Structure 1
Amino acid sequence: MRETLIHAAEGQKVWALILEQGEEAMACLKAFAARERLSAASFKAIGAFSEADLSFFDWESKRYEPIPVREQVEVASLTGDVALEPDGTPAVHVHAVLGRRDGSAAAGHLERGLVRPTLEIVLSEAPAHLRKRKDPDSGLMLIASGG
């Protein structure tokens, strides 16, 4: 992964992160968030994957259902955030829309994505902290109101 700090002022930083063929998107994002000690950030990206694993949260079962994608796809939209887990570690939450050759799409939570040929991410860190808490209705770790 190549990275460039493209803006830094008043506690806000913006990076361009360029992932290369063969890199795994979630692993790179998690490693970057941990290394930079991100506590509140958002990002968006475009590019392509050779394959990916998405998931869908089923409200009734309170479980994520897998959506395997075993083909070359365009990353039509990838968006996410970084907040802190209760233990203070950064949590990376990513949604993706992946376009197939025929124009159809697969969408969901990104669990894993193998980059081919590139993934271009713009990540903005905010000068604040976002904390997650366990939501009693869903059992999910969600960003708490008011940070």
Structure 2
Amino acid sequence: MGGALNIKNRYCLMAAVFRVPPDVEVVSYLKSKLAEAGISSGFLIGLGSLKRATIAWYDQVSKRYFEKNLDGGLEVASMIGNISIKDNSPFVHIHIVLGDKEGRAYAGHLVEGTSFHLEIMAIPSPRPLVRRYSEYHGLYIFE
């Protein structure tokens, strides 16, 4: 039973890693860095903290987003998303869970946020990820 772990398969991902500078708007900064890196389709993960954020929740009945503004130092407990092509342009879709100093958690789509310290990894997709409008959902979803 003891001894070293024998790993037979090893995988290495090609990824772009970004550190968002303090006091910078996250979504627009990320879009520009992805364009510089030539990534128009892929996946995102991130950790860190934000000074403030606007998150949104999608109501499936009214097919509308409702926004909530958060301030005062927010821990990024989870940040995951994707990069795709919508109307022939790159589209960044980020879901985020934020925690405040009272231990409350807030989750939703990241509309915008101001960085305190944020580290993001973007993993390119080998194929284009394209979104088309779905009448049923009222959203642009993967083809």
5 Å-filtered alignment, 1:33-72, equals: 33-72=34-73
Deviation, structure 1 residue 40: 1.8
Which stretches of structure 1, 4 residues or longer, exceed 4 Å deviation after superposition? none
- What amino acid does structure 2 have at the position aligned with 1:24? E
- What amino acid does structure 1 have at the position aligned with 2:18? L
1:38 and 1:83 in contact (8 A); partners too: no
In the alignment, the residues of structure 2 paired with residue 36 and residue 120 of structure 1 have an alpha-carbon distance, to the nearest angstrom, of 16
For each residue in 1:77-105, what CA deviation from the matched residue of structure 2 results, as whole angstroms up to 9, or x when unmatched?
Answer: 11110011132x11100000001111111
Aligned residue pair count: 132
In the alignment, the residues of structure 2 paired with residue 123 and residue 97 of structure 1 have an alpha-carbon distance, to the nearest angstrom, of 18
The alignment status of 1:112 with 2:112, answered yes or no, reads yes
In the alignment, the residues of structure 2 paired with residue 20 and residue 39 of structure 1 have an alpha-carbon distance, to the nearest angstrom, of 22
RMSD: 1.5
1:39 and 1:128 in contact (8 A); partners too: no
What TM-score does the superposition give when structure 2 sets the normalisation length? Answer: 0.86
In the alignment, the residues of structure 1 paired with residue 109 and residue 48 of structure 2 have an alpha-carbon distance, to the nearest angstrom, of 17
Deviation, structure 1 residue 108: 0.2
Provide the residue aligned with 2:5 in structure 1. none
What TM-score does the superposition give when structure 1 sets the normalisation length? Answer: 0.84
State percent identity of aligned pairs: 30
In the alignment, the residues of structure 2 paired with residue 100 and residue 129 of structure 1 have an alpha-carbon distance, to the nearest angstrom, of 36
For each residue in 1:103-134, what CA deviation from the matched residue of structure 2 results, as whole angstroms up to 9, or x when unmatched?
Answer: 11111000011011x10111111211111000
Provide the residue aligned with 1:122 in structure 2. 121
Q: Secondary structure at the match of 1:72?
A: strand
Provide the residue aligned with 2:140 in structure 1. 141
For each residue in 1:44-78, what CA deviation from the matched residue of structure 2 results, as whole angstroms up to 9, or x when unmatched?
Answer: 00000111000000111111001111221101111
Contiguous gaps of at least 5 residues in structure 2: 1-11
Provide the residue aligned with 1:78 in structure 2. 79
2:83 and 2:92 in contact (8 A); partners too: yes
